[in-house]
Structure 1
Amino acid sequence: MLRFLTLILSLVAASWSLPASAQVKMSFHSFNGSVLFGRYPHTFVVLEGTLEQSGQRISENFGFTAKTVSTAILSGPVEHDILVETPKYIKKTNRHFTVTLSDSEYRKVKAELAKWRDAPGKYYDLDTRNCIHFVGALAKIAGLRVEFPDKMLRRPKKWLNYITGLNPSLGAKPVG
């Protein structure tokens, strides 16, 4: 009986010292861009944290872009690519807000990424499927209200500030 009681007390004590619940954070970034310096305005997400079920460490980022930047972008759909940014580049961007994802939402984000990455043919379109639309699709998975006003489809920073306003529960302020 004493061994049984000791075992029960040990299990109770161990449960009190368990680490805090793991989580993955998804941050929404914009880059102001400049035609003169070769980087156009852009938006992307950064995912960091740990999956609760597996303990897998997550450190990823994804943006949607044209495979080749040329004037062909102005004429309609072109080949697409998923862009992964370097830590040095990420430091130069605007972080607008961050949301916490469940393991299930994280898996949905990865599935959506695969859908965009693996779409056949020419899938990037400046007006209907650009980096803003991609990030908007991921934001919807996180439960955010998302709209795509025509006047913002080529202005990622302005668009993310707009999304910030549509979602006051984020507690975020627009980036200046």
Structure 2
Amino acid sequence: MPKFLIHLFALLALVWSGPALADVQIHFHSVNGSVLFGRYPHTFFVLEGTLESTGKAVNENYGFSARKATTAVLRGPVEHMVLAEKPKFIKKTNRHFTMTITDEQYYRIIAEKDKWQNAPGKYYSLDTRNCIHFVGTMAKILGLKVEYPEDMLRRPKKWLNHVTSLNPQLGAKQL
């Protein structure tokens, strides 16, 4: 066998057996919802992929909500929770855009999620700390431009479309 073929096969074997490229993607979702029927409008994010530093598989999602859906939400801060959606439900939501993130960004997002989750007292406020503010905080960690127009604070789909328009580098289309 010619020497160059041996080198070529050795190179291909090395490339083929090398570590898989690792990355984590973050997807930003909205739920249309209905205040009158069933689920409230909502936004959340999904993390999936593989961490480069550890090879750990990532398949998580987080949203921020009031612990109880009562009229008390209209009067001021109420008890909060960070929640996860079921995979079957996620498939029915609107995926607005996706970004590939570094391990460092992943850990920063998880640390921020933990801060919101473990905040003492009544931390959910419909006007100042709702699911939009939670997801917006994560987007800011990733360097995205984020605004909170008053007319969008209870309209997650419209708000994520607005974030999309503020960040043309995403190459995402409005839904």
Q: Which residue of 2 aligns with 1:43?
A: 43
1:29 paired to 2:29: yes
CA distance in 1, matches of 2:52, 2:147: 31
Normalization by structure 2: what TM-score? 0.91
CA distance in 1, matches of 2:96, 2:32: 12
Matches within 5 A, 1:1-176: 15-17=14-16, 18-175=18-175
CA distance in 1, matches of 2:168, 2:112: 25
Paired letter, 1:40: Y
Aligned partner of residue 163 in structure 2, secondary structure? helix
Shift of 1:20: 4.1
Stretches of structure 1 that go unaligned for 5 or more consecutive residues are: 1-9
CA distance in 2, matches of 1:13, 1:90: 39
Shift of 1:37: 2.6
Paired letter, 2:72: A
Aligned partner of residue 89 in structure 2, secondary structure? helix
Stretches of structure 2 that go unaligned for 5 or more consecutive residues are: 1-9
Shift of 1:13: 6.5
Aligned partner of residue 52 in structure 1, secondary structure? coil
CA distance in 2, matches of 1:50, 1:104: 13
Shift of 1:22: 0.5
CA distance in 2, matches of 1:15, 1:119: 49
Paired letter, 1:75: R
Shift of 1:21: 2.2
Quote the RMSD (CA, aligned, Å): 1.5
Aligned partner of residue 36 in structure 1, secondary structure? coil
CA distance in 2, matches of 1:58, 1:154: 29
State percent identity of aligned pairs. Answer: 64
Q: Deviations over 1:123-168 (max 9, x none)?
A: 0000000000000000011111111111110100000000000000
Paired letter, 2:15: W
Normalization by structure 1: what TM-score? 0.90
CA distance in 1, matches of 2:123, 2:79: 6
Aligned partner of residue 111 in structure 1, secondary structure? helix
Shift of 1:26: 0.3
Moved over 6 A (4+): none
Shift of 1:36: 3.1
Aligned partner of residue 108 in structure 1, secondary structure? helix
Aligned partner of residue 88 in structure 1, secondary structure? helix
CA distance in 2, matches of 1:117, 1:14: 46
